[in-house]
Amino acid sequence: MRLFTALVPPDDVLDELERAIAPHVGQAPGLRWPERATWHVTLAFFGEVPERALPDLRARLSRAATRHPVPTLAFTGFGAFSSVRRARVFWAGLSGDSIVRLADSVRAAGRRAGAGHTDEKRFHAHLTLARARTETDLRPLVESLAGFTGSAWRAETIRLVESRTGPRVRYATLDEWALAPAEPG
């Protein structure tokens, strides 16, 4: 199974994001825009995970969730990987408290469970909005969306998701865990 963990923003927050990018969808040559139903914030990508590792992975992700308080997040600005001048991925940035620690904890849970390949790149909180097969200059697109900040939202749960490849990528949530109650303050 090809697995990852994710946060899924609430519909009203995704509505804001969709309204912000709507005038641009289909306007940048070479960009493929996935269906909104697939939008998520990846915390850890595990790749192919052997079936035998799944029970331990679930237990470790459950424990990780209880150790991290619900973060308050917001989409802030847009960017691209590897750079806006030579982009293959267009994304919405994400700011908020403790999301990096949560992602590190989820990645560690995957490593300890033997959950296939855990991406070791430095975590960069984002939601992928479009992809390109070849490097594309997205400076005009990113500049036209400068200054966007979405409403704050609380990420209440993390999900373990299976990615099913084929002519159309499909995601299936295998499990979901509540994060710890938010710390007062």
The predicted pLDDT at position 163 comes to 92
Average pLDDT over residues 147-172: 90
> Beta partners for 175?
160
Tokens of 43: 């915390």
Q: Would you call 117 a catalytic residue per the annotation?
A: no
Catalytic hit among 40, 68, 117, 124: 40
Give the pLDDT mean for 61-67: 96
Task: List the beta bridge partners of residue 154.
Answer: 72
| Annotation marks residue 124 as catalytic | no
Locate 159 and state its tokens. 């999900």
Give the pLDDT band of residue 153 (cuts 50, 70, 90): very high
State whether the Cα torsion 68-74-77-80 is positive or negative.
positive
Q: What is the mean pLDDT of residues 124-142?
A: 93
pLDDT at 121 over 80: no
pLDDT band at 114 (very low <50, low <70, confident <90, very high): confident
Q: Average the pLDDT over each of 46-55, 104-113, 143-152, 176-185 and give the range with the smallest value.
A: 176-185
Q: Is the pLDDT of residue 23 over 90?
A: yes
Q: What is the 3-state secondary structure (H, E, C) of the chain?
A: CEEEEEECCCHHHHHHHHHHHHHHCCCCCCEECCCHHHCCEEEEEEEECCHHHHHHHHHHHHHHHHCCECCEEEEEEEEEECCCCCEEEEEEEEEECCHHHHHHHHHHHHHHHCCCCCCCCCCCCEEEEEEEEEEECCHHHHHHCCCCECCCEECCEEEEEEEECCCCCEEEEEEEEECECCCCC
Stretch 95-116: mean pLDDT:
88
Q: Which residues contact 41 (CB under 8 A, 6 or more apart)?
A: 6, 7, 8, 9, 94, 125, 126, 127, 155
Residue 28 has pLDDT above 90, yes or no: no
| pLDDT confidence of residue 176 | 97
Domains of the chain: 2-178 (3.90.1140.10)
- Residue 6 exposed, middle or buried by CB count within 10 Å (0-12, 13-18, 19+): buried
Its pTM stands at 0.91
Provide, rounded to the nearest whole percent, the portion of the chain with pLDDT above 70.
95
- pLDDT on residue 98: 82
Q: Is residue 59 over pLDDT 90?
A: yes
Query: pLDDT grade, residue 166 (50/70/90)?
Result: confident
On the question of a cis peptide bond just before residue 82, with omega within 30 degrees of 0, the verdict is yes
Mean of pLDDT values over 107-115: 90
